[in-house]
Structure 1
Amino acid sequence: MSATPGHRPPWPVTLSALEHYAYCPRQAGLILLEDAFTDDAATVRGTLAHRRVHDPGQESRPRVRTLRALPVWHDELGLTGVCDVVEIHPDGTVLPVEHKSGAYRPGGAADVQVAAQAICLEQRLSTRIDTAAIYAMADRRRHTVAVDAAMRQRVARITEQVREVIKSQALPAPAADARCRRCSMNTGCMPKVLAKRPRFEKLRGALFTPAPETEWDD
């Protein structure tokens, strides 16, 4: 990433960190601060499914040029990462396509990741991208993601939130909700245990209240 002389570039944030944070801030914190990532069946399926798109290269089909594993970045936002697939069409349209092994969730964390890819591609290719796509391998179809003003603001906001986690070196609080059942890091995170900690502290305080100091006569 280039930098203006005398200007300190922002702390880099990876595109994958945006997805992790958008899904669960604590998940992102565990990965970024403790390098604690745990595989499960779903993550292994995703790794295997990404083998082809993660191999750098390009190919040309009728009227479409396809780039795979394309490195991208954004100087102002401090984003960096790799696009699974980028399609370049004859009319100049650039379409990033993120591949996911599971089912598509509209408005979910994957939308943030692929929108951030579009924003990075705009800078690298000097173009405007208003649409991105997610290919969900579970249903074998593409889902369109609008890269509109609201999504751009969401990407910028989450980028700063991720950066704050890195700077503060503090783990976000656990979610302890339905997301935890789908998270491969559930066991190490212990969301239900930690979510009840305030209650535990309150009960402990009630049970073990220090006795008032007593003055003794000489």
Structure 2
Amino acid sequence: MTPPGSRQGGGRELPQVSLSALEHYAYCPRQCGLILLEDTFTDDAATIRGTHLHQRVDTPGNKGRGTVRTLHALPVWHDGYGLTGICDTVELHNNGRILPVEHKSGRYIPGGPADIQAAAQAICLEAMFHQPVPEAAIFSAADRRRHLIPVDDTLRTRVLDTTHAVRTLLETSRLPGPAADSRCRRCSMNTDCMPKLLAGTRRYTKALTALYTTELQDADE
């Protein structure tokens, strides 16, 4: 295994994208932008529960239990894709199976943003251990069970597309517009983002532009 520090063509260093940023961007590009570009983050009850959960699993180390060795807080990366992050838990089975397990405090949403983060962990582990990692797992503290996720071609494409989008965000430093939909009610950064105010401003500006365009067309006629 080699440490992070991948490069693009021409020797230019590839900007690193964190695995956690993939989940934030998949949930809401503006949320990701506020965190990465403006260093803004606000806790609420849900994020505090998540912090307490990770405090229990993010102590570096490894444990053996039967035929499984469990690694906690394992740094991972992928030189070719410019990905870097930390796996909550990685299980190494005697039969060669490698399984990353991402811990979440809330309920699991099939096909949601957490799938992208967990799949990215699997992709990094593949590159580091030089063997396939065909599935990942998400442990939901809310329903106290583990959900297995097949890391198939479709999910791998989602990981790479999201990685490209986050890297573009970092390179352009352009903050995405607000979603102003049902996601905002569950977001701890609602106050920092001000989605309703900004979305309303965009609608007002659009309507005003359309109004003046119509008036100018009428005057020309």
TM-score (norm 2): 0.90
What is the deviation of 1:8?
Answer: 2.6
Distance 1:174 1:104 in 2: 24
1:158 to partner: Cα distance: 0.3
**Does the 8 Å contact 1:114/1:134 carry over to 2?**
yes
Match of 1:190 in 2: 194
Is residue 2:41 matched to residue 1:37?
yes
Runs of 4+ in structure 1 over 3 Å off: 2-6, 202-207
Tell whether 2:17 aligns with 1:13: yes
Mapped contact 1:9–1:78 kept (Cα < 8 A) = no
Equivalents in 2 of 1:98, 1:195: separation in Å? 33
1:202-217 correspondence runs (5 A): 202-204=206-208, 206=211
**Alpha-carbon displacement from aligned partner over 1:53-96 (angstroms, at most 9, x marks no partner):** 11100000011000000000000110000000000111100000
- For residue 120 of structure 1, what is the amino acid of its counterpart? C
Query: How many residue pairs are counted as aligned between the two chains?
Result: 210
Asked if 2 retains the 8 angstrom alpha-carbon contact of 1:9 and 1:76, the reply is: no
Deviation at 1:197, TM superposition (A): 1.9
The aligned counterpart of 2:219 is none
Q: Tell me, what secondary structure is at the counterpart of 2:57? A: coil
1:75 paired with 2:79, answer yes
Q: Which residue of 1 aligns with 2:169?
A: 165
Unmatched segments (≥5 aa) in structure 2: 213-221
Q: CA deviation at 1:203?
A: 5.0
**Which residue type is aligned with residue 108 of structure 1?**
G
CA distance in 2, matches of 1:118, 1:126: 11
> Which protein shows a greater Rg?
1
RMSD: 2.0
SS of 1:120's equivalent in the other structure is: helix
Per the TM alignment, residue 6 of structure 1 is displaced from its structure 2 partner at its CA by 5.7
CA distance in 2, matches of 1:64, 1:111: 23
Partner of 1:50: 54
Distance 1:138 1:203 in 2: 44
Give the distance between the partners of 2:95 and 2:207, measured in 1 at CA. Answer: 66
The C-alpha deviation readout for 1:73-131, integer Å capped at 9, x for no partner, is 00011000000000011110000000000000000010000000000011111110111
How many percent of aligned residue pairs carry the same amino acid? 59
Secondary structure of the 1:10 match is coil
Rounded to whole Å, the distance in 2 between the matches of 1:163 and 1:103 is 28
Alpha-carbon spacing, 1:25–1:3, altered in 2? closer, same or farther (3 Å)? closer
Aligned 8 A contact 2:44 2:188 in 1: yes
Gaps of 5+ in 1: 208-218
